[in-house]
Amino acid sequence: MTKSVEYFFSIGSPWSFIGFDAFAELAAKNDVVITPYLTTVVEENGGIFSRNRPEIRRAYWTRDLKRWARVRGKELRLEHRPDLSDPTPASLFVIAAYLDGQDWIGVARALQHAFWSEARDIGKPDVREAIVTSVGFDGAALLKRQADDDVQNKWSADRVHARDSGVFGFPTYVYDGEIYWGQDNLPFLERHLHGDKP
């Protein structure tokens, strides 16, 4: 029986990047339909941007990211990153791909990898267009679509839905009314998918 999981994530979240492939594999293995919601940290619900945390907590956050990146087989470039513009607009490419029935997972994967492993400036329209084009998507079409009303409306609605669903950080998975925050909660999500609801 097909199951449905609401997936809240941010292109600008390293944790979303680290756990992305693991979640996609879990979904495929368990016959899960993923409904993606893209937004940024939901401060209204207590979410905190890493830049606003005390330095001692940021230092631990960095060490923990590196540990998990190794576990997940991800290359994570955190040091010596150039000044990059806001990666948030890249979310609109993913939303456009999803609304058009394209491989939004492939689009998101390419953009996240470029930003987190290669420190490429996906906030710039020409950069993200080139990135998705290089992996087989119509980057020009996605660039054009990002300004369309349905894409912009979903971007706005995704934030409202995240707030109203109790989401505060990323990634967050919601299944059968239960919230799982963080890619380290994937084992609990999988247990729930097999009937072990907490």
Catalytic residue list: 13
Using the 8-state DSSP alphabet, how is residue 82 labeled? P
Task: Report yes or no: 169 and 9 within 8 Å, Cβ to Cβ.
Answer: no
Cα angle, residue 8 at apex, residues 7 and 14 outer, rounded to 5°: 110
Using the 8-state DSSP alphabet, how is residue 124 labeled? S
**Token couple for 96:** 């456009």
Percent of the chain that is helix, strand, coil (3-state, to 5): 55, 10, 35
Task: Report yes or no: 188 and 198 within 8 Å, Cβ to Cβ.
Answer: yes
Cα angle, residue 101 at apex, residues 97 and 103 outer, rounded to 5°: 60
E strands within the chain? Answer: 3-9, 32-38, 172-175, 178-181
